Amino acid sequence: MNGLLKVICLIAVISLSPVVFGTGSAQAVMPTVTYLETFGVGSQMAGPGAIDLDDSGNLYIADHDAGVLKFSKLGSLEGRFNAAPVSGAGLAVTPDGSRIYVVGDSDGDFTSDQVAILDGRTGAVLGYLGRGAGEFAGAGEIDLDSSGMIYVLDASAKTVRFYQDSGSGNAVLAGSFSVDVSGRLCALSAMVINPVTDEIFVADKKAPGEVRVYSPQGGLLVTYAAAADFGAQMLSFRGMAFDGQGRGYFIDNISARIAVLDFAAAASGGKAPVLGSIDLTSLVSGATLPQDVVMDGLGRLFVSGSYADGPSAAVLGIGNYQVPSNTAPPSPSILSPMDGSVVASATPVLNYSAVTDADGDPVTYDVSVACDGVQVEVGAGLPAGGYQVQTALPENAGCVWTVKAFDGVDYSAEASATFFVNAVAEAPSAPVLQSPADQAGDVVGASLFVWAASTDPDPNDSVGYLLQIVDAAGNVLAAVDAVSGIALNQTPAYDAMVPGGVYSWAVTAVDATGSEAVSATQSFTFAETGLVIDSNVPGADVYLGGNPGYLGRKVGQTPYVQLGAPAGDYQVAVVHRGFEPVYGMVTLESGGSAHFVADLRPSKEAVGHFQRSHGIRALAADGTYQDIRFNGILMPWIADVDGDGRLDLLVGKRGRKIAYYPALQITDTGGYLRLGDKEVLAELLQRDLAPCVADWNNDGLADLVYGARDGLVRLVLNSGVPGMPVFDGAAAVELTAGGEMITAGGHSAPVVVDWNGDNLKDLLVGGDNGRVELYLNVGSDEAPVLQFEKVLFAARKPKRVVPFPTDWDADGDLDLLVAKNKKVFLLENAGSGLAPQQRVVVFAADKRTMGYFQQGSGLFVVDADDRKGKDILAADGNGVLRFAKARGSEPVAAFFDVLVQKLDQVADMITNDSGDPTLLAMVDQAKTSASAGDLAALPSAISSLRNAQGLPAEAAATCDELMGLLP
């Protein structure tokens, strides 16, 4: 047997112990043990001996009368192999179950002198170890090491022999070593290999009794005494096994006790401590003379022996064990005849796909055929592939055939298809178009294309339809199989159509034999409306449902058109490298169209930050505007949470309430920020809140992801309606990753962000542990499933850090800002990863001395006044929310890169037109100015190029676009 190999290879490995060993860890304890059931009762076993498992969880038992018995993981008898003699002394199975090694008596003299190799599926003898009969003086237990080498304990010869199985013929002896002890009598009774170390454990039951541990080369490493090293005296060693937690199980055959040792806790070269023992007599009625033991990957311990119900294998649940259930096989796929098809033969071949059973069980197939409601033929227990119908099917009949898979326990779902038997083919009648009427002028995406059904003179013949939509130039926009009543927006033509354009349509009826008839052609005018989002910089990324902290779902690039978009409010973000993002809202009225044009402006270098002399101000009860100030640590977030098209401010603070200031606006004088009077957005169940706003489930409503004092991250969905957000604190749920709650050690600060650009919501989390951890979304955008990816930042000492991702230099890559120790640090995205931290210099209001933020304060980054680069919103040491304003004057390097790319496009246009070297030289001059960031010379260079003689029209248009981008 080779117990732990099975634990490692099975899919589910269950932790049975409440303690994991490590430096300074608590002492492990004995896991709980539960009797579950017994395998093999009534299977005619007389004396079950050695047992083993394969990777599918199948149990193999060697019995000197019954042979080798194979049981499924559920305990059903799957096979009985008697092609070779079986003594019960030794048994091993390869992980895939393809080969069985079993000890036997070749000549009936009660000497186990051979090990046969059996086919794990048929039981046929494939060969033997060594020469076969007479190879061993008294073979006992068999086990496989991690490389597949076969080890056999020859108890009579007091040796361990190991063999290499090439897969054909007999296995070849690779070596051996003695396990004898000089000057002592030995009674070798069991052997097992610890697959973690490949060390060989050999049990000697001869008094005083011991288990000796050997290296793979046969060197004696350590000896466990029966009297001292197993808790209580071991009277007679039998089977041994290991589990996936580093525990060893050692059978005492006389006392029916299993000693459990913890090898994970053994010091190097030392002995494993005893965890406890399992008393079989108190767990299983009539337990006597247990023989062998093996553990599966579900935490089930199998023990062969004699019990009140007869010779069998008891199944014990160890710790947090799992009870397996049979998984029905998947449904096979119909290959032919397919649904709705016609066959010319009265005895067709029914073809279906083979399936793979999740449990590794063999699968057969049942097929049935019925015509006009009458059962014609049934085939059961069929192999994979196909089935030739034996009974002639009625001519012109509609027939249904089904196929389902069977794994010996459960059937799969049934797959079915309808086909028709018809040997004589005639064309159907031409379809008659009904709607839209000829020259209709009101066709939109939801308009239905309807036609009268064709008839076919062939009885029971099926008719399909090919819908064609063609533009005025004769280009086919759609040629799709369809049924009458299909909507225009369900065809490929819809996305290629232009409002106001004239199109034509026709329908071809096609029967199952390929005969066809075409309808008349009718025209219509496309009158669809929808959502249009554009920008002054073509190719900008378009996001919906986001805010300055989380952009939302990327839906395309400008110019973006969503025909037939549903009526409602759309929060829009438009982003292009080199430019500051534009946020806004556009309202699409029912039956109308809406346009949003983003005026992207060059992003300025984020430098020279200084704290404003007063904070962000909100409307107070006396009608004046007062600084926003709170006791405790402040965690700000800016988003249009109420969906009114204006940004709002959320503030998490010491208590359970999230403050909410609506309608952020910028005053004309000085760019100061003003907000409406304070409201309570949500009252939650935790304290020290850190809010983040994102439409978590993509239902069009802003949801809250927030951190708190306890370090966990929670989600509370918006249960309100557009314009009226509602957040029920009692409905908040903890976010998890890999089944474990996400924690930051205290004062968690989460940020939702698409970190890796796969258009899925990811999560950054900072907190008291001093780390910024990245959790990637391995689910969908509307139902995120988070998985820990890595630590993006770690402070030297655990102290609160707050992250905020932003494209600080507008180069198209997300950078990371981190607030810690009253300062803000930048980790710039270097393409291959984040660069080392560098402090963002922030001056006080006097613009001379260094400015500091509140210890532990959150931060939010946005170009608040659209003037001089990205600003930083955070609380000062007095708990007042202030903006640290940027004083950048020069555009970022990425802006000039965009200009150079567009000038390269102009050069390509000139090259493809005339190749005029004078014009190309003027392009190079403009590129030189752009590459150098020379805003003084660049406008003149572009203007001269624009007005040059012979410049192609499309190049001139691009020059006009370039002039419009210059600050």
Domain harbouring 639, CATH code: 2.115.10
One domain, residues 80 and 123: yes
How many of the other CB atoms lie within 10 Å of CB of 98? 14
Instruction: Count other Cβ atoms within 10 Å, centred on residue 955.
Output: 24
pLDDT of residue 20: 36
709 and 748 together in one domain: yes
Helix (H, G, I), strand (E, B) or coil at 942: helix
In angstroms, the Cα distances linking 513 to 340, 345, 420, 422, 427 are: 11, 13, 11, 9, 9
Given a cut of 50, the residues of the chain with pLDDT beneath it are 2-26, 668
Within-domain flag for 507: yes
Does residue 328 lie in a domain region? no
Give the strands of the sheet with 91-93, arranged side by side: 91-93, 99-104, 114-119, 125-128
User: Cis omega before residue 722 (within 30°)?
Assistant: no
Q: How far apart are CA 114 and CA 154, in angstroms?
A: 10
Q: Is the dihedral of CA 438, 439, 445, 446 positive or negative?
A: negative
Q: Would you say residue 614 lies in a domain?
A: yes
User: What does the alpha-carbon distance between residue 210 and residue 221 come to, in Å, rounded to a whole number?
Assistant: 13
Q: Are residues 284 and 375 in the same domain?
A: no
Helix (DSSP H) and strand (DSSP E) numbers for the chain: 6, 77
Query: Is 241 domain-assigned?
Result: yes
Closest CA to 307 of 580, 47, 112: 47
**Based on C-alpha coordinates, what's the Rg of the chain?**
39
Domain ends where: 885, 903, 918?
885
**Among 152, 68, 165, 164, CA closest to 112:** 152
Whether residue 53 is found in the same domain as residue 88: yes
Do both 90 and 233 map to the same domain?
A: yes
CB-based contact 815:826 (threshold 8 Å): yes
Q: Reduced to 3 states, what is the DSSP secondary structure of residue 448?
A: strand
Element (H, E) at 895: helix 893-913
Residue 740: inside a domain: yes
Asked whether residue 831 falls in the same domain as residue 906, the answer is: no
**Which residues fall within 8 angstroms of residue 355, CB to CB, at 6 or more apart?**
329, 330, 331, 332, 363, 384, 405, 412
Asked if the peptide bond before residue 48 counts as cis, ω within 30 degrees of 0, the response is: no
For the entire predicted model, the pTM comes to: 0.52
What are the angstrom distances between the C-alpha of 168 and each of 54, 68, 103, 136? 20, 21, 19, 21
Residue where one domain finishes, among candidates 867, 885, 903? 885
Whether 625 is covered by a domain: the verdict is: yes
In a domain, 212, yes or no: yes
The answer to whether residues 410 and 459 belong to one domain is no
How many other C-beta atoms can be found within 10 angstroms of the C-beta atom of residue 617? Answer: 18
Q: In whole angstroms, what is the distance from residue 811 CA to residue 506 CA?
A: 50
| Tokens 């634990």 sit on residue | 7
DSSP string computed for 205-251: -STT-EEEEE-TTS-EEEEEETTTSSSS--SSEEEEEE-TTSEEEEE
Kindly state whether residues 769 and 736 are assigned to the same domain. Answer: yes
* The pLDDT value given to residue 849: 81
- Domain CATH number, residue 568: 2.60.40.1120
Short-list 25, 30, 31, 66, CA closest to 48: 66
Alpha-carbon dihedral angle through residues 407, 409, 411, 412, given to the nearest 10 degrees: -60
Q: Measured between alpha carbons, how far is 684 from 650 in angstroms, rounded to an integer?
A: 14
Asked if the structure places residue 309 within a domain, the reply is yes
**d(C-alpha 936, C-alpha 890), whole Å:** 12
897 in the same domain as 873:
no
Residues in the chain: 967
The reported pLDDT for the residue numbered 301 is 98
User: In CATH, what number is assigned to the domain containing residue 129?
Assistant: 2.120.10.30
Q: Are residues 616 and 689 in the same domain?
A: yes
**Do residues 791 and 806 both lie within one domain?**
yes
Q: What is the pLDDT of residue 758?
A: 95
According to the model, what pLDDT value does residue 886 have?
87
User: How many structural domains are present in the chain?
Assistant: 6
The residue among 27, 16, 60 whose CA lies nearest residue 316 is 16
| Structural domain span for residue 594 | 530-602
Asked if residue 622 and residue 474 are part of one domain, the reply reads: no
pLDDT in tens, 468-496: 999 998 999 999 999 999 999 999 998 87
Q: Strand 59-63 vs strand 67-71: parallel, antiparallel, or unpaired?
A: antiparallel
Nearest CA-CA partner of 630 in 682, 681, 678: 678
CATH at residue 416: 2.60.40.10
pLDDT in tens, 54-86: 998 999 999 999 999 999 999 989 899 999 999
How many CB atoms within 10 Å of residue 365? 25
Last residue of a domain, one of 555, 574, 602: 602
